[in-house]
Amino acid sequence: MSIADPMDLIAWRQGEAHVEGVALSRIAQAHGTPTYVYSRAQLVRAYRDLARALDGLNGMICYAVKANGNLAVVRSFAELGAGADVVSVGEMKRALQAGIPAGRIVFAGVGKTRDEIDAAIDAGIHQFNVESEDELKTLSAAAAARGQRAAVALRVNPDVDAGTHEKITTGRKENKFGIDIARAPAIAALAARLPGIAFTGLALHIGSQLTTIKPYRQAFARLAELTQALRARGIAVERLDLGGGIGIAYQPGPVIDLKEYATAVAETVGNLGCSLVFEPGRALVGNAGLLLTRVIRVKEGDARRFLVVDAAMNDLVRPALYGAFHAIRPVLEPAPGEAEAPVDVVGPICESSDLFAAQRPLPPVVADELLAILSCGAYGFVMASTYNLRPLPAEVMVDGDRFALVRPRQSYDDMLGADRLPEWMTAPGTGTAVRPRARGAA
């Protein structure tokens, strides 16, 4: 049992690509482009596959909201019984809004502010994953001031190289995340005696987009050794948060078999009698979404051919940020035997890094045709920006033969109207300046 293939999301029917029972051209006609499109059936399938693999391990699946925070997406997992892994109060509020109980929310992240800590204590979340001694003391003061005890798991850094991209690895000594595993016993002893703290266990997360089991086995084994060492000191360990990071197939290559992952969990920490937390994000949503875009024009260069599309790096930054690969397919089904030729698929932003694919073999495509950029359900819209003052794209969810707008395209009025002029600056179109007060005037 493995993570879905990106091509599972679309199927060609009557000459064009569909998501579930909906033609992508219908979505483009109704809501324009660029637009993110999510399949509810794929979300449900991914969650149930993982839950089935982990059955019997006394675990709670907490969806990592940072991967895709759309309300309809988070609600889909809430309806399946998921908890939430959050790294900000905004994500916590979104999880609560989606119907995930506070008691099933884990708050992670290296930079929680005092205001965020206060809000999460007041909400009554399941657990804080604490990443430093200073954070632990801040949390202690905040909880004690309320006459409460906050449940804490120490996030340890096991110094395991996940073998993934440099910018998304989190479990090595040089990474900013977690507490050095050698220091963890002393910090755990401190947590056990601090007021306002209910020390419950340990946590780790070694990185994102893992495609082999070996790093997990190494990290979980070190967590098991630490658990036994703490218990030998009389410190109870009741919970283990094993993080997330299971990768997806962006293109042909190895992916993790979910049963093998579950076996690795069982063989390393399964005999410790701890409740477990799993924090998948990309594995649940990555291949359940695509970015629908329209070709503006085909540009013939001296050495290369360019498809200029209306999506850009502000809509999907992963290729520019990580050099990430995303499969791209025309929405119109190519004719049998139609020859492919290399093209650069680029956006309209004034940056050379605004590039979705370089010299990618594609069938002939002309201006005004639609393209589907696949595997965009994770770290797509959530990382979007308004660079070049481009409005944020729309988001649509498909369910069977119906679809709904789950976030409207940002309007120019909303985007441009958010700014405010200082009172001393001339109002445009009036020729009138608001004069500043004299220094010292009342």
pLDDT digits (tens, 9 = 90+) for 106-139: 999 999 999 999 999 999 999 999 999 999 999 9
Of 118, 115, 124, the residue nearest 95 (C-alpha): 124
Q: How confident is the model at residue 426 (pLDDT cuts 50, 70, 90)?
A: confident
Q: Which of 283, 304, 322 is the last residue of a domain?
A: 283
Please state whether the peptide bond connecting residue 330 to the residue before it is cis, i.e. omega within 30 degrees of 0.
Answer: no
Q: Model confidence over 264-303: pLDDT tens digits?
A: 999 999 999 999 999 999 999 999 999 999 999 999 988 8
Does the pLDDT at position 430 exceed 70? Answer: no
294 and 400 in a single domain? The answer is yes
Of 208, 156, 160, the residue nearest 324 (C-alpha): 208
Q: How confident is the model at residue 167 (pLDDT cuts 50, 70, 90)?
A: very low
Environment class of residue 286 by beta-carbon count within 10 Å: exposed (0-12), middle (13-18) or buried (19+)? buried
Q: Which of 219, 250, 283 is the last residue of a domain?
A: 283
Specify the CATH number for the domain of residue 24.
2.40.37.10
Q: In this structure, are residues 106 and 127 in contact, taking their beta carbons and an 8 Å threshold?
A: yes
187 and 74 in a single domain? The answer is yes
250 and 330 in a single domain? The answer is no
Which of helix, strand or coil describes residue 115? helix
44 and 139 in a single domain? The answer is yes
Q: How far is CA 348 from the centre of its chain?
A: 25
User: What number of CA atoms fall less than 13 Å from residue 292's CA on the CB side?
Assistant: 29
Return d(Cα 108, Cα 315) in angstroms, integer: 26
Which of helix, strand or coil describes residue 139? helix
Residue with tokens 């030998």: 232
Q: What angle do CA 217, 218, 219 make, to 5 degrees?
A: 95
Q: Model confidence over 201-255: pLDDT tens digits?
A: 999 999 889 999 999 999 999 999 999 999 999 999 999 999 999 999 998 888 9
Active site residue 274: no
Number of domains in the chain: 2
Beta bridge partners of 396: 37, 405
32 and 43 in a single domain? The answer is no
Neighbours of 193 (CB within 10 A): 10
343 and 428 in a single domain? The answer is yes
Q: How confident is the model at residue 440 (pLDDT cuts 50, 70, 90)?
A: low
148 and 205 in a single domain? The answer is yes
Environment class of residue 189 by beta-carbon count within 10 Å: exposed (0-12), middle (13-18) or buried (19+)? middle
331 and 429 in a single domain? The answer is yes
Return d(Cα 162, Cα 385) in angstroms, integer: 29
**Would the pTM of this model clear 0.75, i.e. be above it?**
yes
Mean pLDDT of 314-326: 95
Average pLDDT score, the chain: 92
34 and 128 in a single domain? The answer is no
Specify the CATH number for the domain of residue 199.
3.20.20.10
Angle of the 133-145 helix axis to the 184-193 helix axis, nearest 10: 10
Which of helix, strand or coil describes residue 141? helix
17 and 158 in a single domain? The answer is no
Q: How far is CA 199 from the centre of its chain?
A: 28
Q: How confident is the model at residue 160 (pLDDT cuts 50, 70, 90)?
A: confident
Residue 50 structural domain? 39-283
Neighbours of 134 (CB within 10 A): 9
182 and 44 in a single domain? The answer is yes
Active-site position among 62, 274, 350, 376 = 350
Return d(Cα 52, Cα 318) in angstroms, integer: 30
13 and 85 in a single domain? The answer is no
Q: Which of 252, 283, 314 is the last residue of a domain?
A: 283
Does the pLDDT at position 179 exceed 80? Answer: yes
Q: What is the pLDDT of residue 149?
A: 97
Q: What is the pLDDT of residue 251?
A: 87
- For 270-319, give the DSSP string: TTS--EEEE--SHHHHGGGEEEEEEEEEEEE-SS-EEEEES--TTT--HH
Return d(Cα 403, Cα 92) in angstroms, integer: 27
